[in-house]
A and B are shown apart, each in its own frame.
Chain A
Amino acid sequence: MFSEYSKIVKDGLWLNNQAFVALLGLCPLLAVSNTVINGLGLGLATTMTLVVSNTVVSLIRNFVPDEIRLPVFVLVIASVVTMIELAMNAWFFGLYKILGIFIPLIVTNCSIIGRAEAYASKQRADKAFLDGLSMGLGFTFALVTLGSLREIIGSGTLFAKAELMFGEAAKTWQIDVITDYSGMLLAILPPGAFIGLGLLIALKNIIDTKVKQRKPAHIQIPIQAAQEQ
Chain B
Amino acid sequence: MKFSTVMSPHLQPVNSVDRVMLQVLLALIPGIAAMTWFFGIGVLINIALAVVVALLAEASILGLRGRPIGSTLKDLSAVVTAVLLSISLPVIAPWWITVVGSLFAIVIAKHLYGGLGYNPFNPAMAGYVLLLVSFPMQMTAWLAPIELGSVALSEIDLLKLIFLEQLPDNVNFDAVTMATPLDSVRTQLGLGRSVPEIKTDSVFGLLAGKGWEWVAGGYLLGGLWLMWRKIIGWQIPVGLLLGLGLFASICYAIDSNQFALPSFHLVAGATMLGAFFIATDPVTAATSVNGRIIYGLLIGSLVYIIRVWGGYPDAMAFAVLLGNLTAPAIDYFTRPRVFGQKA
Which A residues are within 8 Å of any B CB, using their own CB? Answer: 182, 184-187, 189, 191, 195, 198
A sample of 12 inter-chain contacts (CB < 8 A) reads A182-B135, A184-B134, A184-B135, A185-B134, A185-B135, A186-B130, A186-B133, A186-B134, A189-B133, A191-B133, A195-B108, A198-B112
The verdict on B136 contacting chain A, using a C-beta distance below 8 Å, is: yes
| B136 engages A185 (CB within 8 Å) | yes
Chain B, interface size: which category?
A: under 10
Chain A contacts for B134, CB-based, 8 A: 184-187
Closest residue to A186 on the B side, CB-wise?
A: B134
| A185 engages B133 (CB within 8 Å) | yes
Report the tally of A-B residue pairs with Cβ distances under 8 A. Answer: 16
Which B residues are within 8 Å of any A CB, using their own CB? Answer: 108, 112, 130, 133-137
Chain B contacts for A182, CB-based, 8 A: 135, 137
* Among A186, A187, A189, A195, residue most surrounded by chain B Cβ atoms (within 10 Å): A186
CA A189 to CA B133, docked complex, whole Å? 9
**How far is the CB of B215 from the nearest CB of chain A, in Å?**
28
Closest residue to A198 on the B side, CB-wise?
A: B112
**How far is the CB of B264 from the nearest CB of chain A, in Å?**
30
Chain B contacts for A186, CB-based, 8 A: 130, 133-134
Closest residue to A187 on the B side, CB-wise?
A: B134
**How far is the CB of A224 from the nearest CB of chain B, in Å?**
35
Chain B contacts for A191, CB-based, 8 A: 133
Closest 3 A/B residue pairs (Cβ):
A186-B134, A184-B134, A185-B134
CA A187 to CA B14, docked complex, whole Å? 44
Chain B contacts for A198, CB-based, 8 A: 112
Chain A contacts for B112, CB-based, 8 A: 198
CA A70 to CA B227, docked complex, whole Å? 62
Closest residue to B138 on the A side, CB-wise?
A: A182
CA A194 to CA B73, docked complex, whole Å? 29
Chain B contacts for A195, CB-based, 8 A: 108
Chain B contacts for A184, CB-based, 8 A: 134-135
Chain A contacts for B135, CB-based, 8 A: 182, 184-185
Chain A contacts for B130, CB-based, 8 A: 186
CA A30 to CA B130, docked complex, whole Å? 18
CA A122 to CA B108, docked complex, whole Å? 43
**How far is the CB of B132 from the nearest CB of chain A, in Å?**
10
Chain A contacts for B108, CB-based, 8 A: 195
**How far is the CB of B192 from the nearest CB of chain A, in Å?**
30
CA A191 to CA B108, docked complex, whole Å? 13
* Among B112, B134, B137, residue most surrounded by chain A Cβ atoms (within 10 Å): B134
CA A186 to CA B128, docked complex, whole Å? 12
Closest residue to A185 on the B side, CB-wise?
A: B134
Other A-B pairs beyond A185-B133, A185-B134, 7, CB < 8 Å:
A182-B135, A182-B137, A184-B135, A185-B135, A186-B134, A187-B134, A198-B112
Closest residue to B134 on the A side, CB-wise?
A: A186
**How far is the CB of A181 from the nearest CB of chain B, in Å?**
11
**How far is the CB of B306 from the nearest CB of chain A, in Å?**
18
CA A185 to CA B134, docked complex, whole Å? 4
Chain A contacts for B136, CB-based, 8 A: 185
**How far is the CB of B120 from the nearest CB of chain A, in Å?**
14
CA A187 to CA B136, docked complex, whole Å? 14
**How far is the CB of A188 from the nearest CB of chain B, in Å?**
9
**How far is the CB of A222 from the nearest CB of chain B, in Å?**
31
CA A134 to CA B65, docked complex, whole Å? 35
CA A84 to CA B223, docked complex, whole Å? 62
CA A189 to CA B135, docked complex, whole Å? 12
**How far is the CB of A128 from the nearest CB of chain B, in Å?**
39
Chain A contacts for B133, CB-based, 8 A: 185-186, 189, 191
Chain B contacts for A187, CB-based, 8 A: 134
CA A43 to CA B238, docked complex, whole Å? 52
**How far is the CB of B236 from the nearest CB of chain A, in Å?**
26
CA A135 to CA B135, docked complex, whole Å? 37
CA A198 to CA B108, docked complex, whole Å? 11
CA A226 to CA B217, docked complex, whole Å? 78
CA A182 to CA B137, docked complex, whole Å? 10
CA A189 to CA B108, docked complex, whole Å? 17
CA A46 to CA B112, docked complex, whole Å? 32
**How far is the CB of A4 from the nearest CB of chain B, in Å?**
39
